[in-house]
Structures are given as structure tokens and as C-alpha cells.
Amino acid sequence: MQDVRCATAEEVAVLRERVARVEGGHDHLRDGLDSLSRQFSELRRDLTQAIDENAACTRQEIMSRVETIGRSTQQRDAEVSDRLARIEGGIRLANWLTVTVIAIATTLLSWARMGDSFWHMWAHILATHA
């Protein structure tokens, strides 16, 4: 059998000192991990906030550009509509003038033929009675 040996007071003191140092290191590591955990939480919060702010700015910028494009499109549509209205007005005027000229020419030709016919008829009547 083995002899049971008891530690001396000096050995117990050295052992307690080592345990205290290990516990102190453990407390220091725990404090460091807690500090890192807080820093990571703050970093995640700050990153999330920055991303949300950037997304809001980007969304606002996109909507502003969409509104600008919409306004310019409406302006171009209005300009094109005005041009088309002027062109249609010009075409209507040209058609009206063409129809009017044709009607006047036809009327004048008709009157000329009627006058010519009356002239020949009177000339024939006067020639037969003379």
C-alpha cells in the first residue's frame, strides 16, 4: 500500500496561488469574450443601420429618377401630340383647300360648258332665223 501524503502549508499556498491565477485568467477571458460579444452586437447594429440608410437613400434616388423620367416622357408625349395636332390641322386644311379648288374648278367648267352650250344654241337659233 501507498503511504498517504499530506501537502504542506507551502504547497497548499502555491496551489491556491495557481488556482487564483487560473481563475483570474478565466475571469479575464470571460470579460474579454463579453466585450467582444458587445462589440460584435454594436457592429451588427451599426452595419444594419448603415445598410438601411443606404437602402433608403438608394430607394429615394431611384424614385426621384423615375419621377424625372416620367415627367420628361409626359413632356415629350405632349410635344409629339402638339406636333401631330398641327400636322393633322395642316392635312385637314390642305384637304379642304383641295376639295374647294376642285369644287370651284368643276363649277367653273360646268358654267363654261353651259355657257358654251347656250352660245351654240343661240347661234344655231339665230342662224336658222336669219
Tens digits of residue pLDDT in 14-36: 888 888 888 887 888 888 899 99
Using the Cα atoms of residue 62, residue 64, residue 67 and residue 71 in order, give the sign of their dihedral.
Answer: negative
Q: Which three cell numbers stand for residue 91?
A: 392635312
Q: Which three cell numbers stand for residue 13?
A: 499556498
Q: How confident is the model at residue 49 (pLDDT cuts 50, 70, 90)?
A: very high
Q: How confident is the model over 73-130, as pLDDT tens digits?
A: 999 999 999 999 999 999 999 999 999 999 999 999 989 888 888 888 888 888 887 6
Q: What is the DSSP string of 43-58?
A: HHHHHHHHHHHHHHHH
The C-alpha cell 409626359 sits at 74
The SS3 call for residue 8 is coil
pTM assigned to the model: 0.48
